[in-house]
Structure 1
């Protein structure tokens, strides 16, 4: 079942969120320090990923054009509107807003190489090990996020399952369409571009910046376009 990895990832996020709400009475100082710790770890992870590029010019162009497209489409605002709609329908429960929890958790769980590589492995080889590993990480992260950002974290499971599931679905026939060299090049540059976005998320979590990371997401598509053009010309 090629969607098993994505389903497990969503379930772990849901379980982690519920556990986080059960332990929401953790002292504020402890939660703040833990949140900073997660932010710092996310920064380091993003930095490691960002340095994996074979051609950093591709990453720069992808993020610049991706930012222009994202700002034009207002992706960050659309995500916030969706979160606010959920908040109005369900209301808040305890600390944190549904909008903030949904948007922050979605960006953390969706952006990154593990989601794409895991989805590709699930679809191409039926190997869910990458997504299983990601599920454990996301479940623990959801637990911590839920203690601070609230029940909204649970709704991030929906875009995570859809995102990873769609990648796995399309990946089932990807070997017959995309050359292996092109696919490997895309994964490498996408990892670097996604790593910079994750780096920005870490900065946001520590309160140092307020980067509109969602508006950088089109950079992943731009990366695919640039890599494809260079491959065809090469």
Structure 2
């Protein structure tokens, strides 16, 4: 079953979010310290991902161009609107912004090599080992994030399933159409670009800054465009 790994990953996020919901009665002082600890951990995670870049100029250009596009499209404002609608529809946990929880969890779960490589393995070889491993990590992360940021974390399961599911379903075509070096380069630079976004999320969680991370999201698409243009240039001009 091609989508088995994706489904297990989604279920792990749902289960982790529900368990975290049960553990949300944390004293404010303790919650503040826990939030700072999570922020620091997320920053280290993002920094590690960001340092994996092999062509850092692509990361910089992707973030800058992506930020311009995101600000023009007002992605952060639209996601906050979605969060407000979700809070009205399903109720607010009282722990913070549903949009913040949703965006934070989505970025942490989606950005990175495991999501892409795991989905490709599921689609090409029917091997779900990578996604099973990711499911364990995501489930625990969902528990922590849900207990501190709020129940909005659970809504991240939708983009995770759509993202990984699409890659798994089209894995054969992706593997056939995209040369291996290009795919490797995209995964590397996408991970690095996403890592910087995750680092920014860590700053937000720790209360050290207030960065509109959602407005940086187009940078992921820009990475793919730049990698494609670079490959085309090398193909034509050697």
**Same fold, TM-score > 0.5, yes or no:** yes
Which string of whole-angstrom CA distances, capped at 9 and with x for unpartnered residues, describes residues 56-85 of structure 1?
A: 111111111111111111122222211111
How much does 1:94 deviate? 4.5
Q: Which moved more, 1:75-84 or 1:60-69?
A: 75-84
1:217-232 alignment runs, 5 A limit: 217-232=217-232
Alignment of 1:185 onto 2:155: no
In 2, the alpha carbon distance for the partners of 1:95 and 1:222 equals 34
Equivalent residues of 2:111, 2:191 under 8 A apart: no
- Which consecutive unaligned segments of at least 5 residues does structure 1 have? none
Alignment of 1:9 onto 2:9: yes
Alignment of 1:160 onto 2:160: yes
Alignment of 1:214 onto 2:214: yes
In 1, the alpha carbon distance for the partners of 2:105 and 2:154 equals 8
RMSD across aligned positions (CA): 1.7
Normalising to structure 2: TM-score of the pair?
0.91
In 2, the alpha carbon distance for the partners of 1:167 and 1:24 equals 34
Which string of whole-angstrom CA distances, capped at 9 and with x for unpartnered residues, describes residues 127-171 of structure 1?
A: 222222222122112112222222222111111111111122222
Equivalent residues of 2:58, 2:226 under 8 A apart: yes
In 2, the alpha carbon distance for the partners of 1:33 and 1:24 equals 14
Cα pair distance change 1:49/1:20, threshold 3 Å: same
1:166-181 alignment runs, 5 A limit: 166-181=166-181
In 2, the alpha carbon distance for the partners of 1:19 and 1:178 equals 40
In 2, the alpha carbon distance for the partners of 1:55 and 1:108 equals 22
Q: Look up the match of 1:33.
A: 33
In 2, the alpha carbon distance for the partners of 1:187 and 1:78 equals 27
How much does 1:30 deviate? 2.9
1:50-129 alignment runs, 5 A limit: 50-129=50-129
The 3-state SS of whatever aligns with 2:201 is helix
How much does 1:97 deviate? 4.1
Equivalent residues of 1:108, 1:201 under 8 A apart: no
In 1, the alpha carbon distance for the partners of 2:31 and 2:181 equals 45
Normalising to structure 1: TM-score of the pair?
0.92
In 2, the alpha carbon distance for the partners of 1:14 and 1:205 equals 21
In 1, the alpha carbon distance for the partners of 2:152 and 2:163 equals 18
Cα pair distance change 1:227/1:215, threshold 3 Å: same
- Which consecutive unaligned segments of at least 5 residues does structure 2 have? none
